[in-house]
Amino acid sequence: MSQATCYNPSCEMMPRDELEQLQIERLQSTLNRACRNVAFYRSAFDEHRVQPEKLTDLKAMRELPFTTKEDLEGSYPYGMFAVPLKDIVRIHSTSGTTGKPIVFGYTPNDLRDWAECAARLLVAGGITAHDVVQIALDYSLFPGGFGFHQGAEQIGASVIPTSLATGMDKQIVVMRDFRTTVLVSTPGHAVSIVTALEELHLHPERLHLRLGLFGGEPWSERLRQELEQRLHVATMDTYGPDEVMWPGVAGECPERSGLHVNEDHFIVEVIDAQSLQPVAPGQEGELVITTINREGFPLIRYRTGDITSLEPAPCPCGRTSVRMARVLRRTDDRVVFRGVGFFPCQVEEILLEVEGTTPHYGIVLDRAGGVDTLEIKVEVSEEIPSLDELKTLETLRRRISKRIRAALDVEANVTFVEPRSLHRLAGAKGRVVDRRTR
Return d(Cα 356, Cα 352) in angstroms, integer.
9
Residues 307 and 224 in one domain: yes
Return d(Cα 239, Cα 219) in angstroms, integer.
12
Residues 5 and 152 in one domain: yes
Residues 328 and 359 in one domain: no
Residue 38 phi, psi (nearest 5):
-120, 115
Total count of domains within the chain = 2
User: With a cut of 70, which residues of the chain have pLDDT below it?
Assistant: 1-4, 97-99, 355-356, 358-359, 381-390, 420, 423-430, 437-438
Residues 309 and 407 in one domain: no
Please say which residue of 309, 332, 355 terminates a domain. Answer: 332
Residues pairing with 329 in the sheet: 307
Please say which residue of 297, 332, 367 terminates a domain. Answer: 332
> What's the pLDDT score for residue 437?
64
User: In 354-424, where does DSSP find H-type helix?
Assistant: 390-408
Residues 56 and 85 in one domain: yes
**CATH at 376:** 3.30.300.30
> What's the pLDDT score for residue 2?
42
Q: Are 296 and 81 in contact (CB under 8 A)?
A: yes
Q: Are 355 and 291 in contact (CB under 8 A)?
A: no
Return d(Cα 42, Cα 52) in angstroms, integer.
11
What average pLDDT does the chain have?
90
Residues 211 and 189 in one domain: yes
> What's the pLDDT score for residue 97?
56
Cβ count near 347 (within 10 Å): 26
Residues 398 and 260 in one domain: no
**CATH at 225:** 3.40.50.12780
Exposure of 194 in the CB half-sphere (CA atoms within 13 A): 26
Give me the domain span that covers residue 369: 337-434
